[in-house]
Amino acid sequence: MLFFSFFKTLVNHEVTVELKNDISIRGTLKSVDQYLNIKLDDIQVVEELKYPHLSSVKNVFIRGSVVRYVHLPANAVDTPLLEDATRREASQTAAKAKQQG
């Protein structure tokens, strides 16, 4: 759930989503869900002429499973906070595993 929470902090930022079929779509991150499906607003397709079917589209819902990369604005990411959160989640998972095992 950590990445879900992380992506939620990036809502309303400009991101570029690169799909596994090589399309790159730039837009404002509007929402994200537990599968990391992504909704973008005011989209702009890189190399638009190669993907003409998206030329009259204003916002997209992208299935999480087809995303290859998400390019984030560097200043919107609090790296130390993310590191802490990752360690916390890792230790929690470890503790849980110990409890059960």
Partner 1 sequence: MENLSLHDAGPPGGPSMQQAPPPVPQLPPQMFTTAAQLLDLTDKKLVVALRDGKKLIGVLRSWDQFGNLVLQDTIERLFCQTLYCDIERGMFLVRGENVLLLGEIDLDKDDYVPDTFEQAPVEKVYALKKQEEQSRKTTDKSKQKKLAELGFEGEHSGEVIF
Bridge partners (DSSP) listed for residue 70: 17
**Sequence-ordered list of residues with C-beta below 8 angstroms from that of 78, at least 6 positions apart, any chain:** none
Sign (positive or negative) of CA dihedral 1, 35, 60, 18: positive
Query: Residues 69 to 98: which contact partner 1 by CB under 8 A?
Result: none
49 binds partner 1 (CB under 8 A): yes
**Of the candidates 66, 40, 44, 39, which has an alpha carbon nearest to the alpha carbon of residue 55?**
44
Number of residues that bind partner 1 (CB under 8 A): 31
> Does position 34 bind partner 1 by CB under 8 A?
yes
Which amino acid is located at 59 in the chain?
N
Least distance from partner 1 to the Cβ atom of residue 56, Å = 4
31 contacts partner 1 (rule: CB under 8 A): yes
Decide if residue 24 touches partner 1 (CB under 8 A): no
Q: State the residues that interact with partner 1 by CB under 8 A.
A: 1, 4-5, 19-22, 31-35, 37, 39, 43, 48-49, 52-63, 65-66
